[in-house]
Every structure is written in C-alpha cells, then in structure tokens.
Structure 1
Amino acid sequence: MPQNIALIERVMTAAPVIPVLVIEDPAKAVPMAEALVRGGLPSIEITLRTPRALEAIKLVADNVEGAIPGAGTVLDQAQYEAAVAAGSQFIVSPGATTKLLDIAEQSDVPLLPGAATSSEVMALLERGYERLKFFPAEQAGGASYLKSLSSPLTAAKFCPTGGVSLEKAPGYLSLPNVLCVGGSWIADAKAIAAEDWAGIEERARAAAALSA
C-alpha cells in the first residue's frame, strides 16, 4: 500500500520539531527520551548510525511513556525490518529507492522518505507519498528553495532536516508546505555524552514552543 499519510502526519504534527539523535550508549537512551518527552517533543528519531542504535530504540519503545520512537538513516530492507522489530513507530530515510519504497509498502510502519529536488518529489508523489523529508535542507537550498516548491507541488508537505537550528527553524515552520522540522541541536552527541538531561529538556521546551 502507499504511504499511510494519516499515520505519518500524526508523527510529524505531534510537535514542531523531531529531534534527530545519534546514540552511542544505549544506557543513555531512556533518560534522554524522558527529557525530550517532558519538554514536549514526543516524536524521536534515533538514527542507525551507531552499532547499538537498534538497542536504544527498543529501550525507548519499551520504557518511555509518551514517546514515539522512530529510526532514521534507514537504507535497506534489513534495516527497515530490524527497526520495526525494535519498536520503531516510523521510519526515516535520507532518500528513496524503488526497493526501499517496495519494502515500506509491505509494512504497517510508515516511511518518511527524503527528497531534495522537484523531480524526486514528483516521483514520490506518483507512488503515493505526500509526507516527505526535505534533506539536506540547508545544503539543498534552505527555506527559500523549499517555499518555491509549495505552489507547483501543493500535495507535498515536508519535514526539513539537515543544518536546521533553533534560529533557522521558524523560517521553515512558517512555510505552507512544512509540518515540522528535524534537528540535532536539542540533544547533540556532546549533551547526551555529558548526560545533560536538564539542558536537553530546556532546549526541547524551547523547540516545542515554536509555531508550526
């Protein structure tokens, strides 16, 4: 089946920002996710960029009430299936291939595929994907470029990710074709390593207060 738009949109509209996380130590996953949820950011993307990322997703899925854990940087069938088995409620990819879309359409867990050009967006719309990740956002042209896609490609709504900061987020969130943004500034690797849960919660509150 094509993208479950209602399901992925619930993930995207739970808060204005989806934290994008790189977790080296799964023991830090639960207190980190609890801080994010307390701060008002329930949708949490844990990228599959570390050897124990799936373990971190499972810990969050099993132990953090109110969290909506998802897996990012998913590239193939094995990663998709492993992420779903770990408890991911949504899957995020930096781009989209025919094979990845085929896998997604066999799963109840929705995919948020990445796109950076009008042709990529059009191809995804043809497959029934209307909720997309704009990646890498800043490097691909930023808010002004994404705004230019809103008139000719009205069905597509985005989560810009890549180089987005607290200062740049409002420019994206003001666009008619943006539902939320993804960002690593809320809980970066340094803050997680330092177990700065109070700081993460504070940044989450600031992000949750942004207008989508």
Structure 2
Amino acid sequence: MSGTDVATVLAGARIMPVLTVPEPATAGPLADALAAGGARYAEVTFRTAEAEQVVKAMAAHGGLAVGAGTVLTAEQAERAVAAGARFVVSPGFDEDVVTTCRELGVPVVPGIATATELMRALSAGVDTVKLFPAEPLGGLRTLRSLAAPFPRVRFVPTGGIDASCLTSYLAEPAVLAVGGSWMATPTHVANGYYDEIRRLTADAVDRSTT
C-alpha cells in the first residue's frame, strides 16, 4: 500500500483531526464544524463502543473523507471499511491489518516507534507510516533520526502534538501530514463546542499552508 495511495485520499491536505466520538448523534455537526474550518478528512478512533456507527454517520454526511483509527485487528478493519472508512490507521504494525486493508483496496497507515518496526512495514510494501506516540518518543529528533536512513518513507506523526509544535513538524520534508486531537477533543465534542472546533481547525489548516 503505497504513499501515493494515501496521499490521494488525503488530497494534498496536511492536517488530520483525530476524533474520539462516543455518540453518533454528534457526527453531523462535528463533520460540519471540521469542514467549515477547512479540514478535508478526519480519523475516527475505534476507542468507543459506537465508533463504527460514528464512521458510518460521518461518511454518509459527506464533506470529509473519513478514516478509522486505533484499528487493532483485521476484523476491526473489515468493519471500519464496511462502515465507510476511506482509510485505516493503526497505532502499531500488524501484518494481518495491513493484508486485510490491501485486500479491501483501502490505504493503511500503520504505526511505528522503532527502526525495526519501520523495516517490517517496508517489507510489507508500506512506505507511509504513523510515528506514534510522536512527542513521547522524542518528537522531531526521533522523526529526523528515522527519516535519515529511510529517505523514501513518509510519516504522519501523531501523539502529543498540538498547535505549538505543529509548524515545526510540517516543515519536515519527510512529513506527509500531522494528526492530532487538539482541534476536537472529547470535551469539545461532548459539550457541543462546534464554533471552537471550527476555529481551532481553521487555525491548524492556516498554519499548514503558510
């Protein structure tokens, strides 16, 4: 599953809102707020009981390319794609998840934290990976250290990133996009702070284009 496939789905945008949404009823207003802020896609994490329904609702709502995140098993990947996920993101590298996504024709971005995991991903035909958890792992220093011996790899760093360090990550040539939850935290979503979600998303998108 090549980086070109992922880049096509991401459509040139470099900001990936990472969402944990407990209630499908919030999917429509949330999608509207993200789209109004300039987001083109979003990752819905499979961390809640209703995640599959949230993916389905957001995908049906339109306006965003919706992916599924925190996908841990091939079975979850199948359910996510059936619900309408356009891409799959995993916190680690699992061969069954990668194989299933390839069979389903859906781009997959597995997580890696070490050079060994990155080599396993490359052996499986994956050249776009999620560096996770980016900031706890050492942030930009770690990303640069991994990028140096693997020049064809593109990274989607996620984990501990916020607006204060976003621009620094985006300036790295090896970075395809940056994922983060600060634009639409569970608190934002639970309290219906859609204007704030739109504002934070617009700020992130603006930072990504300057």
Same fold (TM over 0.5): yes
- Preserved CA contact (<8 Å) 1:16 1:210: no
Partner of 1:60: 58
Secondary structure of the corresponding residue to residue 156 of structure 2: strand
Rounded to whole Å, the distance in 2 between the matches of 1:132 and 1:63 is 28
1:13–1:179 Cα contact (<8 Å) kept: no
- Does the C-alpha gap of structure 1 residues 4 and 81 become closer, same or farther in structure 2, counting only changes over 3 Å? same
Cα deviation, residue 189, structure 1: 0.7
CA distance in 2, matches of 1:181, 1:11: 15
Question: 1:89 aligned to 2:89?
Answer: no
Residue 150 (structure 1) aligns with? 147
Q: Give the structure with the larger helix fraction.
A: 2
Q: How many residues align?
A: 209
Equivalent residue for 1:45, pick from 43, 46, 51: 43
**8 A contact 1:12–1:179 mirrored in 2:** no
Q: Which runs of 5+ in 2 are unaligned?
A: none
Whole-angstrom CA distance in 2 between matches of 1:12 and 1:115: 20
Asked whether the 8 Å contact 1:49–1:73 carries over to 2, the reply is: yes
The runs of 4+ residues in structure 1 deviating greater than 6 Å are none
**1 CA distance for matches of 2:12 and 2:49?**
28
Post-superposition CA distance 1:152-199 (Å, at most 9, x none):
100110110000001011111111110111000000011111111111
TM-score if structure 2 supplies the norm length?
A: 0.95
CA distance in structure 1 between the partners assigned to 2:157 and 2:183 by the alignment: 15
**Whole-angstrom distance in 1 between the partners of 2:156 and 2:95:** 21
Residue of 119, 124, 132 corresponding to 1:122: 119
Q: Over the residues paired in the alignment, what is the CA RMSD in angstroms?
A: 1.3
TM-score, structure 1 as length reference? 0.94
Using the TM superposition, give the Cα deviation of residue 151 of structure 1 relative to its aligned residue in structure 2, in angstroms: 2.0
Tell me the CA shift for residue 14 of structure 1.
3.7
What's 2:68 paired with? Answer: 71
- Mind listing any 5+ residue stretches in structure 1 that lack a counterpart? none
Alignment partner of 2:192 out of 195, 205, 209: 195
1:172/1:181 contact within 8 Å kept: yes
Judge conservation of contact 1:115–1:134 (CA < 8 Å) in 2.
yes
> What per-residue deviation string (whole Å, max 9, x for no partner) do you get for residues 70-105 of structure 1?
000101121011000100000000011222222122
Where 1:81 maps in the other structure, the secondary structure is helix
* % identical equivalent positions: 39
